[in-house]
Amino acid sequence: MARDGRVASAALLLFLSLAGVAGLAVVPAVAQPLPPISSSNGPGNGPPGIPPDVLTIPQLPVPPSSSFAIDDTVLVGNDDDWTGQVILNAPYSVIQVTQFYRTEMPKMGWAETAIVRARRTSISFVRDQRVATIRISIQKDDTKRTDIDVVVSPIQTKMTPGTPGASIPLPRLK
């Protein structure tokens, strides 16, 4: 039994090493919550109760059948107040992805603050002390797919002059 675990671990390590050498950096995403943990996963499917190759991001809906660009995704912090950049690719049109986020983000506590529709659609949301900007555009290589760039950052608080990091006010134009 322990030998099977070591063989599976070695096979996984070999696969991940080869995937890195080959430049493979896309991991399938899921939009629905993970199923309850069970022991139904067989050998070679990863640890019991954990679906293979699945990444979820707390407080961020992901369109079904989307994939993450792991090399370009950076997350900092814990599940409650993470910040960072998430890069996704989805098999939907810009209009469909835009509607998905306008519908699903409020369900996770985000309030829409602005939307700009252009060649690259941009939607902004706020939640607690964070702002999320979602940029949606047609994928260059495949016009049937959409690139999604989500940036979540803290809302800048008002700083007093002289405080480290305080911005210098710009002169007003007449």
**CATH number of the domain within which 153 lies:** 3.30.310
The candidate with the shortest Cα–Cα distance to 139, out of 89, 64, 84, is 89
Residue 65 in tokens = 């059948």
Q: Residues near 122 by Cβ (< 8 Å), separated by ≥ 6?
A: 114, 115, 116, 133, 134, 135, 136
- Structural domain total, the chain: 1
Quick: pLDDT tens for 48-101. 666 655 677 889 999 999 999 999 999 999 988 899 999 999 999 999 999 999
Whether 134 is in a domain gets the answer yes
Whether 9 is in a domain gets the answer no
Which pairs with CB-CB distance under 8 Å and at least 24 residues apart come from 139-142?
139/89
Q: Return d(Cα 78, Cα 97) in angstroms, integer.
A: 26
Quick: pLDDT tens for 118-151. 999 999 999 999 999 999 999 988 888 999 999 9
Residue in the structure block whose two tokens are 């993470």? 82
Whether 10 is in a domain gets the answer no
